[in-house]
Each structure stands twice: as structure tokens, then as C-alpha cells.
Amino acid sequence: MFAMLFTQKACRQNTNGKEIYIMFDMKKFAQFLSGKRREKNITQGQLADMVGVSHQAVSKWERGETMPEISKLSDLSSALNVPTEDIVAAMHSESGEKEREANMDEAYYALPDKTLVGDVYALAPYLSKEALTTAITEISIAKGSGVAKMLFKFADEDILREVALLVFASNTDKGRLDLVPYLPQEDITKLILNRYSSGETGAMLPLLPYSKDKELVDMIFKSIVSKDGNWNALKPVVSGIMPEVVVENGIDYAVKHGIGCFGAWWGVLGYENIAKIFIGYCRHFDHSFRAWSDIAPHLGRADKSLILAELDKMHADGYNFDFEVNPLQLQALPADIRDRLVKYGVHPESKEISAARGMPNVSFNMGAPFVPNNFSEFEEYIGELESRIEELESMVEDLESRIDDLED
């Protein structure tokens, strides 16, 4: 395809044997190259060394006498910190742009198989918007958006939005998820609700991270947790769901099941979300020492700047930090959080008290003791315990799967 870059007017044979001409403007490229080199504040000789050519070669490029070999475009891109597409665009003759586009469209429509990505990829940078839209749409429908996404970089958002609408309107059974970000929000909402109402949870979940409808996402989130009794189904997508939904539901879930319920989730929730869940959890319990004891073992997983900001706010609001803590518990905290607590009044209890009390409870507080008021409440509590057991079993299965992967 790019063998044609060496002259002002070059040709290639299309699939029907017809010659197709593309115009190049050496003077335009010379001005582009010289300008970019000066912006980088490097000499012709330095650019030559970076690209791996002679000083004379660079000099000829900037005089508009020759153009670089195609094999040097990537090196030029790196040396000048300019996208390869911009370099190629600088080579094109603006006067021949429409002719070039028409020729490339003709070459595309002449392809015997328009779903062969390699053939289309070579033409894609030069296609008109209409032809490029058709090309990406046909490949997405025939082979899935995962294959077609290699062409996305040649398209703007308007093209990809049109492609997304066309592909989702088709009956293709191929993957389309890569096109979801380009769908209008109302179409994403429609897809989520249609799949949710049809019981297609597995097909609906990957769409949630792309929705900006907080009320809708929160409703789906709560519905899944209520039905399953845990967050397991959400694990593959939770990192992409809007943080406010994750945090609000995370606080509710932690209050109900204890902070330890997120033991297998630290890696997917993210430091900021974890910190906000911890803060919401402690606020729910009026910043009791027991609540802070719950989150203490896990503070290393959270965004410490948010935790420190919460401590500063508590101090400014007049919170009384004057209480004693087992030295081992205090020592286990991240240093900056421990120092802030000590600064505001928390202090280690005496050795005598620690010795009398024995080792601290390493499991920390998991909530107030449960005292059922009636049998139905007891049954509900048993149901929660069963859900927790299922979650733990899922965690064990996940660990076993990871072990198998490591052994393989």
C-alpha cells in the first residue's frame, strides 16, 4: 500500500487490475517536517541519527526533493513525537485529496471480500466517511466489533455512533460490546432494560459501566444483590460502574454484612471507592471506636488522603479522640494515619491494662450482637448467614481457580 509514498504521483493495482493514482505534495511535507523539527529544537543531523538515515537524506526531505521510505515513518513519528497519521497526511496533496478519496473508495468497493480486515485496514486511512462507515459496519456484523475495532482509530465519533446504531439494529449474533461506548445514552438504557426484563443478566451486565443513568444502574445493582444475596455477579463489571452507585451500595452492604465481606474485592473496588465505603461505614455508626476498629486492618487498601481528610473533619467538628487503644492495634495502622490519630489525642493504653486484657481481638468488631425479636427476624438472619456462606464458598472457588492457573 505505502510503496506509493516515494513519488509525487504513484499508483497501485486494485483487485480488478485498474491503476489508482494518489497525489503527494513534497513541498507541503518539507514545510511540515522542518517545522516539527524546529519545535523539538533539534538539528537535521540529530534527527538523522534518531531516524537512522544520513544528514543529506533529512536535508533533501526538508528541501522537498525526496520523501522518506515507509519503513522510516515510525522512527520519524517517535523522533518528532507526532502520530504517524499526521506525517502521512502532511505528504498528501490537498488538491488531489478528493481524487485520492474517490480512488480509495473505488478500491474498497471493488474488494471481493470486504470483511477481510487486512485489506480494508490498508485502505481505511484514505476512505471517505461514507465508505469507512460501511467498512466498519460490515466487519462488525460479520465478525464482531472485537475484530472491527482495529479500524476505529481511523473514524471519528460521528462515524462510530452511526456504526453502533447500524450494528445494534442488525440481527448479528457476533460481539458488539466495543461499540457500546458510541451509542447514545437512550439506546444504552433501552438495551439494559430490554435485557434485564428478558432475564438476560449475563448479556446485560457488561452494559452497566457505559450507562450514565444513576437511578437505572442503582436499581439494577440493588436488584441483583437482593436476588443473589451477594455481589458476585457484579464482580467482572463493578470497577467500571459509576463510583457513587458502588460506594452507596457498598456502605449498605458493609453495614449489613460487616467490612470483612469485601475481603475478596479489594483489588477491583479501587482505593478511592474503598476509602469512601470505609468513611460511610464509620459515619453510619457515628464514628464509634468499634467501627474504626473494623476498618483498621484494611486501611492499607484505601486512599489514605481521603481517610486523613475525614479525620481532619472529625477533629474540626469537635470529635473526642481521647481514648486508649491497644498498642498492637495502633502499631498495625499505616504510619500517617497512626500519627494523625495520635496528634488528635488517641494514645496507647498502659502495659498493665494490655496485659490484663490479653491479646487484642484480631477479628475486630463485626457489628452489634444479634438478638432476634421474633421468629421471622431469626429466619431473616439465618438467610443472611446462608448468603454469607455462599459468598465465602465463591471466594474459595475463586482462590482455587487462581491456584489452578498458577499451577498450569
Query: Comparing C-alpha atoms, which of 69, 25, 65 is closest to residue 51?
Result: 69
- pLDDT of 11 higher than 60: no
Residues 235-254: tens digit of each pLDDT: 999 999 999 999 999 999 99
According to DSSP, the β-strands at 347-348 and 324-325 are: parallel
Where are the chain's structural domains?
A: 2-169, 184-241, 242-368
CATH of domain 2-169: 1.10.260.40
Residues 94-126: tens digit of each pLDDT: 655 666 677 788 888 999 999 998 889 888 988
Contact (CB, 8 A) for 120 and 137: no
CA dihedral for 360, 342, 296, 380, sign (positive or negative): positive
- pLDDT of 368 higher than 80: no
Q: How many Cα atoms within 13 Å fall on the side-chain side of residue 88?
A: 18
How far is Cα 210 from Cα 201, in angstroms, rounded to an integer? 15
Average pLDDT for the chain: 82
